[in-house]
Amino acid sequence: MRYHNITKDDMLNGDGLRVVLWVAGCSHCCRGCQNPVTWDPDGGLAFDEAAKEEVFEQLRQSYISGITFSGGDPLYITNRLDVGALAKEIRETFPDKTIWMYTGSLWEEVKSLPLMRYVDVLVDGEFEIDKLDTQLHWKGSSNQRVIDVQRSLAEDAVILHA
């Protein structure tokens, strides 16, 4: 897996203060994307042990609510295994921290991925510039959904995060 940045003390990409891992690789290439530099799966830096330790150091802080995977797209085909392994390790190491994820894919396309068992909240759907709304909470366009993953899996229906 490759990444572009690790943001600390982020308040814009999920609830509470978060660490955000901006991964490389995206096939959606949404018009008006805020991060087109992250589309190239070969861009950025290799996610190595030092990068993982940087993320874990942040997650050890009591004031950090959890991690958000963004990008790029954490569910880009070449990211799925590494993001899944990292999410599993984070869930096991920090069971009280939440895991958020942004993807251009729809819930219906990704709900059966094994890594979803570790995700608390998924913001799904491509960013659509024509549906941009700066008043929306945790999403950029009105077509996107902020989904409570664990409740949605349990109830086999899309349950929006409150």
What confidence score (pLDDT) does residue 111 get?
A: 98
Q: How many CA atoms lie within 13 A of 97 on its CB side?
A: 27
- Domain spans, the chain: 2-155
What confidence score (pLDDT) does residue 69 get?
A: 98
Please list the pLDDT of the chain residue by residue as tens digits (162 residues): 999 999 999 999 999 999 999 999 999 999 999 999 999 999 999 999 999 999 999 999 999 999 999 999 999 999 999 999 999 999 999 999 999 999 999 999 999 999 999 999 999 999 999 999 999 999 999 999 999 999 999 999 999 998
Of 99, 90, 96, 92, give the one whose Cα is nearest residue 67: 99
The 10 Å Cβ neighbour count of residue 137 is 7
Q: Sign of torsion, CA 94 100 101 102?
A: negative
Integer CA distances (angstroms), 158 to 11, 38, 103, in order: 25, 28, 15
> pTM above the 0.85 mark?
yes
Rounded distance between C-alpha atoms, residue 54 and residue 72, angstroms = 20
What confidence score (pLDDT) does residue 11 get?
A: 95
What confidence score (pLDDT) does residue 73 get?
A: 98
